[in-house]
Chains A and B, each alone.
Chain A
Amino acid sequence: MAAPIQPERTPAQRVAETAVLIACALGFLAACIAIPWPKDGPSKLSMEGIGVFVAAGLTLIMYSFLYRDNPLFKVAENLYVGVSLGYGAMMTWYLSLKPEVVDPLVFAPTGEARVDALLHRTVPILLGFLLLTRLSRKHGWLSRYAYTIMIGWGAGIGIPIVVHTYILKQLGPSVQPLTGNVWDILGGVVILVGTVSVLFYFFFSVEHKGAGGAVSRVGIWFLMVSFGASFGYTVMGRVSLLIGRVVFLLRDWLQLNL
């Protein structure tokens, strides 16, 4: 995450901010010790309890970025990347490499099963190894064979499907007959005008002047409405994330009855 543009701090401000940071960290630790937890729930020193404290601390550290970039935020940010990668690596091993490659080839129950596994998996495994040659400058060119197959196969499968799903299927509702009740007709007209005007806005071979300019301007309005809807939903999504974290801090960490 890029740090927001901020004015330079004086040495005195730096010392003061570091002191505040240390005070906040100590305050958090004191709160963790002082908060009374219910007797019937998990204890503070159980794995679950420690997990709640770690999650609460990391949540507060991540939100400290809203004030200013700071060393604790950097630690939490790198921790997040490291944990995600480590978890991803372990899951890849247990859910993909071990059951798909190692178990069928190394721990095959019978010789016949091993031969069968070899027949089905040798080419994909070789292609996978070719992709790894990207790590070497000298042998990196070998990865192109694997990429060639991936791109060729992907394009062959993907192009007809994408044309069908995103163009042909979408054409139907865009050119519906103007029948039904008033709202259906109005909806049909709005879709028709919106589709035509937005398409015209992206038609750059003709100068947008006169009648063409007017259609193009209508297209801009439709685009603006669409951006507004997207922005509204984005705000809703971000606020939901904040609500989730606030509820976690109040209920799970501070043990407040919400």
Chain B
Amino acid sequence: MSAPDASLRKALLARRVVYLLLAAAIIVTALAKIKMKVVPSPLSRQVYDRIEKLAKDKPGAPILLSFDYDPSAKEELYPMSQALLRHAFRRNLRPIVMTFWLNGVGLCKELLERTAKEAGKESGTGFVFLAYKPGGSNLLLNMGESLKGAFDKDFYGKPTEGMPALAGVASLRDIPVVVGIAAGSSTEMWIAYGRDRFGFDLAAGCTAVIAPDLYPFLQSDQLFGLLGGLRGAADYEVLIGKPDSGVGGMPAQSVAHFLIIGLILVANAHVFLRWLKRRREA
């Protein structure tokens, strides 16, 4: 066996050991049913407080929820979408649900119909499912001019004109709060083509990967709150008092993070010791 081949095998083995440790840590934590206290972050609380305020100031107000993801981001974004919908239904707000992701329509429909059934709400009166239309930013601009012009029918084929759930909503300007749950760049599109142009309050929920990119928009008040990854979902579940898969995933998440931190420390110590050894030999 040649030397490079041996080192490659060693690296592969080390990588597989890391995967196994990570899988074992998550499986054992899940099976052990460890409970963990989740303290909501200020950014998650801001989203919750704003929706509470909306329900108090304008009972039965519309709230637009844009679920811009597909099944590949389901594990992170589905729990927070579910918590937001439950909150909106509980406070008798009128969720207007849509997506910019074609492959996310089925996921949205299942989630919306299930949470609406839980809350005893019906399509057309308690909520509207606008589903998907192509166009991206152009569609947003169109919605800003006329929501019913952009979506003349809902997902079920009912005309949006005269629909009780859309009473008083002519365009995006008539929607006080929008929450964009995104696995891609659609939150920035909502900021640039929606919030900054039509003046509604915007909050974001996103996968953990894109959360750092959205922090500058919090500072400039272009976003009033942020739910980042599974942690954001867990925060929101705690805030609405209905723990689900977000809270359930937190112990495993923490154990996995400790494991990764430990592995980083071990790997760095190993490199440092090797450097010391080489230095002594030189």
Contacts and interface: CB of A to CB of B under 8 A. Distances in A.
A165 B192 contact: yes
A193 B188 CA distance: 26
B193 A244 contact: no
A258 B220 contact: no
Contacts of B260: 235, 239
A236 B208 contact: yes
A237 B209 contact: yes
A233 B191 CA distance: 22
Contacts of B74: 244
A234 interface: yes
Interface of B: 5, 8-9, 12, 16, 19, 22-23, 26-27, 30-31, 33, 74-76, 102-103, 105-106, 131-134, 137, 141, 153, 155, 188, 191-193, 196-197, 207-209, 211-212, 216, 219-220, 222, 228-231, 245, 248-249, 252-253, 256-257, 260
A243 B256 contact: yes
B102 A258 contact: no
A92 B102 contact: yes
A88 B102 CA distance: 6
Interface string A154-183: 000110011011100110110000000000
B208 A91 contact: no
Contacts of B219: 173
B253 A158 contact: no
A243 to B, nearest CB: 5
Contacts of B106: 87
Interface stretch (A18-26, A33-41, A131-139, A245-253): A245-253
Nearest to A237: B208
27 contacts: A5-B8, A7-B5, A66-B19, A87-B103, A88-B102, A91-B132, A95-B132, A95-B133, A161-B192, A161-B196, A164-B192, A166-B192, A226-B212, A230-B212, A233-B211, A235-B257, A237-B76, A237-B207, A237-B208, A237-B209, A242-B256, A243-B75, A244-B74, A246-B23, A246-B26, A246-B27, A256-B31
Task: Pick from A92, A158, A239 the residue with the most CB of B within 10 Å.
Answer: A239
B207 A247 contact: no
A190 to B, nearest CB: 12
Contacts of B8: 5-7
Contacts of B249: 240, 243-244, 247
A96 interface: yes
B248 A258 contact: yes
Interface of A: 4-7, 66-67, 84, 87-88, 91-92, 95-96, 99, 157-158, 161-162, 164-166, 169-170, 172-173, 226, 229-230, 233-237, 239-247, 250, 256, 258
Contacts of A243: 26, 30, 75, 230, 249, 252-253, 256
B212 A233 contact: yes
A187 B31 CA distance: 43
B220 A240 contact: no
A93 to B, nearest CB: 11
A157 B9 CA distance: 54
A239 B256 contact: yes
- At the interface, is chain B mostly helix, strand, loop or mixed? helix
Nearest to B22: A242
Contacts of B256: 239, 242-243
Given A161-B193, A233-B208, A84 B103 contact: yes
A125 B282 CA distance: 74
A55 to B, nearest CB: 10
B102 A247 contact: no
A229 B102 CA distance: 31
Contacts of A6: 8, 12
Q: Which 5 A-B pairs have the closest CB atoms?
A: A244-B75, A237-B208, A240-B230, A165-B192, A236-B208
Contact of A233 (B19, B209, B216, B252): B209
B211 to A, nearest CB: 5
A7 B2 CA distance: 11
A233 B228 contact: yes
B53 to A, nearest CB: 23
A239 B19 CA distance: 11
Nearest to B219: A173
Contact of A161 (B33, B197, B207, B253): B197
Contacts of A169: 196, 220, 222
B265 to A, nearest CB: 14
